[in-house]
Amino acid sequence: MIENLSDALVLFLNVYNMIALAGGIAIGVIVGAIPGMTSTMAVALTLPFTFTLPPVTGILLLLGVYKGGVYGGSIPAILVKTPGTPAASCSVLDGYPLAQKGQAGRALDIALYASCFADLVSNLSLILLVGYLAQLVTSFGPPENFTLIFFSLTIIASVSGDSLLRGFISAGAGLLLATVGLDLIYGTDRFTFGNTDLLGGLAFIPLLIGLFAIPEILNGYAKRGETGKIAADPSGSRATFADFRYCFRSILRGSLIGVVLGAIPGIGGAPSAFVSYSEAMRRSPNRKNFGKGELEGVAAAEAGNNGVAGSTMIPLLALGIPGDVITAVILGAFMVHGLRPGPMLFEQNIDLIYALFIGISISSLFLLIIGKAAIHMFKHIASIPRSYLYPVVMVLCVFGAYAVNNSFFDIYVMVGFGIVGFLMMRMHIPSAPFLIAFILGPMLEDSFRQSLLMSQGSLTIFMRSWITWVFWSLTILSVVLMVRRHLAGRSPDVALPKVQEEKRDV
């Protein structure tokens, strides 16, 4: 063990590894901050450069890009309501209102602190719990996934704003549009109307940019009388240690949610951010302030999506199973160097694994330093006049949407949903439920149908293991709590904070 560790230190401790890790994070933050350029694309683009690097250096570079990208997405989400990556879409909900209040710096700071803390927790979980969590992963099949995602859908209630009915309608539209494309099970066409672009379904990123960024841009033209800066200079506000302590419980909870959801193949950062956000909201005494600029909301969302950044490596390293596209690319990097992740790697190349672990554990610190520098750099965005900022963001979105699939079709989708999103904004239909449903809808449908295929049509498969029971119970619990809270909130005689206090005593 000691011998392995010292071998690993020798393997890790060279200046190239440090440069690769720091450089990767810097590239990731910048690319993640560009709307449409996801961390997945950044990792795929970096991959060919790693062909010629030593394995540890190359993989650390990729991991750096990935981690930087996950954080970087939050910067434009907060500053210009344009999530740089899908996982950052939840950070928009409270980050942008905070920026509008002139607290962009505070929001960016807390996003960074939450991200780094969650990243650290996730990395430590990877290192310490890889064996246990890998066990958990192997017991997740389609029925378990179905119950997990069904539970996750209850968060739609938290992001529906002032009317649940409108939130549900928005979610319904998201679910429906997610069915466009080839049917997974039978390979038949659904709502494709003979169009080859629609065969692959609607891409998520153009839709995301369309629904968040473009309505805000259009709205800027309606209210051009009141122009000015988008928000005060972010350097004017900072997150204090008191802020961090105030959000700490949500950050910790979000990190743990991220760790567990990240370890399960195929879930990813966006659902984790939303679950973490919804949990933070459910437990906060300032529940009503969520969605209107609540610092804890930003912290919870960012903790949730960065919490997956370490644990996604668990199924890859322990079982050789890539849980998402990014780990699939990283798997490619391993294979290019003749390494095959899986149990054998732990036996044959334990020094390499430890070297990676050492690199991964200091990546959180690098992220903090580089993220701080990035905030310093990007804060100038907030001082650009709206008349220039909005159009430039629009063109940036165009390039980003094109880059997703190198297709004009995605730009049409983005503009089309931008106009739809503007109408939704005016009709007070929240767009967050739409997005969550669009992400989770296919996972829900696929896992449901896969389960039924496995059981030859018997519904009892959804009760087959303790995991399904846990998620069913959580679902029922959260629905009951939701109903009770809303009924309690209805009565005008009872002040809300008081209700909260009583509940906590129970």
Residue 308: which of 319, 294, 324 has the closest Cα?
324
| Per-position x/- string for 214-243, each x denoting binding to other proteins as judged by CB under 8 A, each - no binding | x--xxxxxxxxx-x----------------
Q: Based on CB atoms, which residue is closest to other proteins, 105 or 315?
A: 315
Cα 136 to chain centroid distance, Å, stands at 21
Q: Is 475 in the site for other proteins (CB under 8 A)?
A: no
Q: Based on CB atoms, which residue is closest to other proteins, 2 or 194?
A: 194
Residues facing residue 189 across a β-bridge: 182
HSE on the CB side for 454, CA within 13 Å?
Answer: 15
Binding residues among 119-158 for other proteins as defined by CB under 8 A: 137-142, 157
Q: Based on CB atoms, which residue is closest to other proteins, 132 or 408?
A: 408
Q: Is 380 in the site for other proteins (CB under 8 A)?
A: no
Q: Is 48 in the site for other proteins (CB under 8 A)?
A: yes
* CA-CA-CA-CA dihedral for 427, 431, 432, 435, to nearest 10: 150
Binding residues among 332-371 for other proteins as defined by CB under 8 A: 332, 335-338, 340-344
Binding residues among 51-70 for other proteins as defined by CB under 8 A: 51
Q: Which stretch binds other proteins (CB under 8 A): 122-130, 212-220, 276-284, 361-369?
A: 212-220
Q: Which stretch binds other proteins (CB under 8 A): 75-83, 107-115, 370-378, 421-429?
A: 421-429
Structure tokens at 322: 């890539």
How many residues are recorded in the chain?
A: 506
- Which residues, at least 6 apart from 454, have a Cβ–Cβ distance to it below 8 Å? 141, 142, 143, 461
Q: Based on CB atoms, which residue is closest to other proteins, 338 or 460?
A: 338
Contact 247, 240 (CB under 8 A): no
Q: Based on CB atoms, which residue is closest to other proteins, 102 or 332?
A: 332
Ramachandran sector of residue 266 (left: φ over 0; alpha: ψ -120 to 50; beta: rest): left
Q: Is 244 in the site for other proteins (CB under 8 A)?
A: no
Q: Is 213 in the site for other proteins (CB under 8 A)?
A: no
What does the DSSP 8-state code read for residue 491? -
Give min distance, CB of 393 to other proteins, in A. Answer: 10
Q: Which stretch binds other proteins (CB under 8 A): 100-108, 110-118, 174-182, 468-476?
A: 174-182
Binding residues among 262-281 for other proteins as defined by CB under 8 A: 265-266
- Say how far apart CA 292 and CA 302 lie, in whole Å: 17
DSSP for 58-74? HHHHHHHHHHHHHHHTH
